[in-house]
Amino acid sequence: MTNRVRKAVFPVAGLGTRLLPATKTMPKEMLTIVDRPLIQYAVDEARAAGIEQMIFVTGRGKSTLVDYFDTAFELEATLRDKGKSLDALAPSRAQIGEIVTVRQQQPLGLGHAVWCAREIVGDEPFAVILPDDLMVPGALKPMVEAWEQLGGNLVATEEVPADKTGSYGIITPGGTSGAVTEVRGLVEKPAPNEAPSRLGVIGRYILQPQVFAILDRGETGAGGEIQLTDAMARLIGEQPFHALKVDSVRHDCGDKAGFVIANLALALKHEDIGEKVRDALSRL
């Protein structure tokens, strides 16, 4: 087993129902935040954290996710003929073996999506990135740095409003040291009066491969789905398990309001269009 996090799983088979009708024919991960699709931000974050292989767990109608990272010969030839730079395309090019795909043939939950990547991950620790959760700045690099000191399993968390605990996996906290909290329990989507804390798990994880054996049982939880949170909870007490409160702003881009807010927030910081957007907002 390697002591490095080299692989990341991207569960991207979801239907994006909260963003319909835009996602009727367009994968939600291909919707753009300013000038790049969501999947580009997620892959960039993984690359910055030292991830060497991106594992896309896809479904029907998601081929554009892979096509996006392929070489666009016709487009590049046209740009060259016109004397235009190809620099803007560089982040969207993948090296051989950097991106691999596997199909999730049934929408059985996040835990099932992660389980689908088991043969490619193999017997080594791995990251999980949910592209819906756009982190600014990226959260995975500080997580990898913390994991290299802590080992075991590590999840990203943020403090959520008390009335929103039913939308998150919530940790039962143990001892805290700086931004790191020992995880003594995990509950998926508890009611506010039953939540053990307000520390909610958000879309970044570093997990040990033993989680696959638990997911292999196919046990269902909240919503009748195979929940990753439930499988992670089984590892608590058997392996080190910590939560890192990340210093990132999270945008829930699977939600219409969150998607619009993310576009505005990043557009305001964009050196080419920030001033124009700020002026337009002041007029509105």
Give pLDDT, residue 50: 97
Q: What is the value of pTM for the model shown?
A: 0.95
In order of their start, the domains of the chain are 7-283 (3.90.550.10)
Confidence of residue 233 (pLDDT cuts 50, 70, 90): very high
**How high does pLDDT run on average in the chain?**
95
pLDDT digits (tens, 9 = 90+) for 51-75: 999 999 999 889 999 999 999 999 9
Give pLDDT, residue 2: 64
Give pLDDT, residue 280: 96
Report percent pLDDT > 70 for the chain: 99
Query: By the 8 A CB rule, do 179 and 247 touch?
Result: yes
CA-CA distances (angstroms) from residue 37 to 27, 87, 253?
Answer: 10, 17, 11
Q: For residue 211, is pLDDT > 60?
A: yes
pLDDT digits (tens, 9 = 90+) for 121-134: 999 999 999 999 99
pLDDT digits (tens, 9 = 90+) for 187-196: 989 999 999 9
DSSP strand pairing (199-207 vs 153-159): antiparallel
- 143 closest CA partner among 257, 46, 275, 213: 46
φ/ψ bin of 152: left (φ > 0), alpha (ψ from -120 to 50), beta (otherwise): left
Give pLDDT, residue 35: 93
- 160 closest CA partner among 135, 138, 123, 189: 189
Residue with token string 């696959």: 212
Give pLDDT, residue 223: 79
